[in-house]
Amino acid sequence: MGEQSFFDKMMINLRSTCKYYTGHPKDLGPSKVIHFTSEREFVHLLHQGHPVVVAFTIKSNYTKHLDKVLEEAAAEFYPQIKFMRVECPKYIGFCMTRQKKDYPFIEMFHSPQEASNQGRAVDPNVTKYAVKVLPYNYDVSAYGFREFFKRHNIRSFNHE
């Protein structure tokens, strides 16, 4: 087969670099959204040093849309930002600690640091940490996440 034409090369480049919908289905590859299984796993993920966007969900029609958006955003911002989904009916205790009544909602956790006041620790092997939490109140889309990260100076991409 001969060499590709300039037009073919340009279209291949456009499809590979375009961040917006072009009419072609997006190949996101395997899911990058992490499903919550325990607080211990969540803490371990935070200690990896990347911001973690957490969607607290319940079963609803809107959750199906949210899942698609999370998949797209997770693929776009991986590995600099992690995305996690918590099914609140399964993990009631973890969701209740957020003290919210309207589901689904999204929050971003970042910058874990050892707490300056350890309080009265029953077990000397337990260390308390302070984590910054930002409520997400932008458009639920990959574009909305991009704007949210810009607004809060969260580096969401590699400079190559």
60-83: per-residue pLDDT in tens?
888 888 998 999 899 888 889 999
Instruction: Examine the pLDDT at 106 and tell me if it is beyond 80.
Output: yes
pLDDT, tens only, 115-143: 666 666 556 666 667 788 889 988 888 88
> Sorting pLDDT into bands at 50, 70 and 90, what band is 86?
very high
Q: Quick one: which of 68, 70, 97 has its CA closest to 84?
A: 70
DSSP letters along 92-127, please? HHHHHTT---SSSEEEEEEEEEE-S---S-SSTT--
Question: What is the pLDDT at residue 81?
Answer: 92
Quick: pLDDT tens for 146-158.
999 999 888 765 5
Domains of the chain: 28-113+129-152 (3.40.30.10)
pLDDT band, very low/low/confident/very high, at 159 (cuts 50, 70, 90): very low
User: Taking all residues of the chain, what is their mean pLDDT, rounded to a whole number?
Assistant: 82
